[in-house]
A = this chain, B = another copy of it.
Amino acid sequence: MDAYTAVRTKRDERHYLDTPIPDDVKHRIFQAGRMAGSARGLEPCRFIVVEDAERRLALANCGRTPPHIIAAPMAVAIIIPEGGRAFDAGRAAQNMMIAAWADGVGSRPASADNAACAKELLGIPDGYELVLAIAFGYPDPEQPLQSGNKRVSLDEMVHWERW
């Protein structure tokens, strides 16, 4: 898939098959996250891959039990130093989600509102914090995303020289 098609067509999926993600696809996902740029080249992100179904359920229960973290075969928790740049986490996350999509794998972030719960569950060391977790899996063709695209128009989104 060409890059522009990938970034333009990637949607945050809600429904997943439980089909496992092949190792080579996983490798490309993590490599994409690794190669994302970061402020001053600090590479602040670390990833915790959660495939165990019980642990995914427990992770979902650290938040508002997002069903896609339970349904998708892989969740990737994104960790940064406490007080670090969530912007850079977003860059790495988007890289991973685009690489996944180019291999036909959908994704969707999920917050874990109870930070202490996630920290305990995932063994996140002191000085680090969870930004959020991303579900990865093949989209369920029986439950496609609704196509109604109500995005803000480019004219409303883009200002020239001044707001």
Contact = CB atoms under 8 A, between A and B. Distances in A.
Interface of A: 1-12, 27-28, 30-37, 39, 43, 45-52, 55, 79, 85-91, 93-95, 97-99, 101-103, 108-109, 111, 121-125, 128, 131-132, 151-152, 154, 157-163
A93 B95 contact: no
Contacts of A94: 36, 90-91, 94-95, 98
Contacts of A85: 86
B163 A125 contact: yes
Nearest to A85: B86
Contacts of A99: 3-4, 7-8
Given A7-B35, A37-B10, A47-B158, A2 B122 contact: no
